């Protein structure tokens, strides 16, 4: 695990920019906006949530869209061009089925995607609510989860992504408007090799099953990608592969946010969560947790600007003190006043 902590930027030199964290990990779970930002906090130094929003809105260096496993991920803008065609098409069939279940037949779904594209072309960026109003005005159902799956369909087709922040809300934009013309033609074999290389940079050591689960690609594709970079891999006694040149250490006590990448990069979460998996992960939700000596030691929550810890194990006083200090940094990062008072 020590080498994985280093790959994850949880030990060693922290990143100086939000995009550096995301490029290192390739894709950061993005369905929880605060969680995605806190994943950057714990792997960087001196940044704030506003810096992440600036990367999304002003720099256009980051974006969020549905990628690996049909789940929202935060990625660097330049990686969208190869990661999207590699991972998104596998989700399209499921999208059509879910829309039908939500009372949106294929013809209505097509009309709704056309509304999204036209609205963003004329008036984008637009928020989810604004797009929902346009779709509903066209006579397409948006109740329940219908709107989410319409936006999912438009995104998996490469029409739209979540780009800038408008106030506290993430707005949608046209890919062609926000990112410009696509680069050279997509080559699947090259993309699989890049997927394997970049995955191991941020997650190694790992094996083919870890990569397949994380990226949501078939096991044979994961093996093809790893085989393409076999000359750069170092074999280990445990059968896991990694790239050379990593330092080993255990992170200091830190607070990790909801859906932290440390829980999504490998087939098993047991090395981090141990017997507490059913507490940290509940019904598809991943709670914020404290990492002490490389394992989950507490869950935590932020309410009213205050951080509250609920220990899972008995902790040493100095570890508790380190977590309270990190709680103050969580408050600082998120922009709460009097950050030094966190507890």
> pLDDT for 139-175, tens place per residue?
999 999 999 999 999 999 999 999 999 998 999 999 9
CB 251 within 8 A of CB 291: yes
Pairwise CA distance, residues 322 & 315, whole Å? 11
pLDDT for position 51 = 98
* Chain-centroid distance, C-alpha 19: 12
> pLDDT for 99-116, tens place per residue?
999 999 999 999 999 999
Q: Is 316 exposed, middle or buried (0-12, 13-18, 19+ CB in 10 A)?
A: exposed
Q: What average pLDDT score do residues 248-267 get?
A: 95
Nearest to 146 by CA among 179, 100, 192: 100
Would you say residue 332 has pLDDT above 80? yes
Comparing 2 with 94, the larger pLDDT belongs to: 2
Dihedral sign from CA coordinates of 306, 311, 315, 317:
positive
Would you say residue 245 has pLDDT above 80? no
pLDDT for position 329 = 97
> pLDDT for 1-56, tens place per residue?
999 999 999 999 999 999 999 999 999 999 999 999 999 999 999 999 999 999 99
Would you say residue 338 has pLDDT above 90? no
Would you say residue 316 has pLDDT above 70? yes
Buried b (16+ CB within 10 A) or exposed e, 152-167: bbbbbbbbbbbbbbee
CB 154 within 8 A of CB 95: no
pLDDT for position 242 = 64
> In the predicted model, what is the mean pLDDT of the chain?
93
pLDDT bin (cut points 50, 70, 90) of residue 89 is confident
pLDDT bin (cut points 50, 70, 90) of residue 298 is very high
Buried b (16+ CB within 10 A) or exposed e, 198-226: bbbbbbbbbbbebbbbbbbbeeebbbbbb
Pairwise CA distance, residues 174 & 78, whole Å? 15
pLDDT bin (cut points 50, 70, 90) of residue 248 is low
Q: Give the lowest-confidence range in 118-127, 208-217, 293-302, 329-338.
A: 329-338
Strand, helix or coil for residue 97 = helix
Residue 123's contacts (CB-CB under 8 Å, 6 or more residues apart) are none
Pairwise CA distance, residues 87 & 82, whole Å? 9
> pLDDT for 224-238, tens place per residue?
999 999 988 765 444
pLDDT bin (cut points 50, 70, 90) of residue 341 is very low
pLDDT for position 112 = 98
Residue 291's contacts (CB-CB under 8 Å, 6 or more residues apart) are 10, 251, 253, 254, 255, 256, 262, 272, 297
Query: What stretch of H or E contains 156?
Result: helix 146-156
How is residue 185 annotated by DSSP? P
Comparing 219 with 234, the larger pLDDT belongs to: 219
> pLDDT for 186-213, tens place per residue?
999 999 999 999 999 999 999 999 999 9
Q: What average pLDDT score do residues 261-265 get?
A: 97
CB 128 within 8 A of CB 162: no
Would you say residue 340 has pLDDT above 50? no
């Amino acid at each position: 695990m020590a080498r994985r902590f280093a790959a994850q930027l949880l030990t060693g030199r922290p990143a100086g920019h939000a995009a550096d964290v995301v490029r290192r990990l390739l894709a950061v779970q993005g369905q929880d906006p605060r969680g995605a930002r806190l994943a950057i906090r714990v792997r960087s130094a001196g940044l704030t949530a506003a810096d992440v929003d600036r990367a999304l809105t002003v720099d256009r260096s980051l974006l969020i869209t549905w990628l690996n496993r049909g789940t929202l991920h935060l990625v660097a803008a330049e990686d969208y061009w190869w990661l999207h065609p590699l991972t998104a098409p596998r989700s399209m069939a499921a999208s059509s089925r879910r829309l039908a279940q939500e009372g949106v037949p294929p013809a209505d779904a097509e009309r709704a995607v056309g509304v999204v594209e036209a609205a963003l072309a004329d008036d984008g960026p637009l928020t989810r609510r604004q797009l929902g109003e346009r779709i509903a005005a066209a006579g397409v159902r948006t109740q329940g989860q219908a709107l989410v799956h319409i936006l999912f369909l438009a995104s998996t087709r490469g029409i739209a992504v979540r780009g800038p922040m408008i106030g506290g809300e993430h707005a949608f934009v046209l890919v062609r408007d926000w990112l410009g013309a696509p680069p050279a033609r997509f080559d699947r074999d090259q993309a699989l090799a890049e997927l394997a290389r970049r995955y191991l940079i941020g997650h190694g050591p790992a094996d083919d099953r870890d990569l397949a689960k994380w990226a949501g690609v078939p096991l044979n594709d994961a093996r093809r990608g790893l085989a393409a970079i076999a000359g750069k891999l170092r074999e280990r006694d445990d059968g896991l592969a990694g790239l050379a040149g990593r330092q080993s250490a255990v992170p200091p006590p830190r607070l990790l946010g909801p859906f932290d990448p440390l829980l999504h990069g490998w087939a098993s979460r047991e090395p981090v969560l141990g017997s507490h998996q059913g507490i940290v992960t509940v019904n598809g939700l991943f709670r914020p947790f404290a990492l002490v000596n490389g394992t989950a030691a507490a869950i935590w929550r932020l309410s009213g600007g205050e951080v509250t810890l609920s220990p899972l194990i008995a902790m040493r006083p100095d570890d508790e003190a380190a977590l309270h200090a990190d709680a103050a940094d969580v408050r600082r990062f998120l922009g709460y006043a009097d950050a030094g008072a966190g507890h």
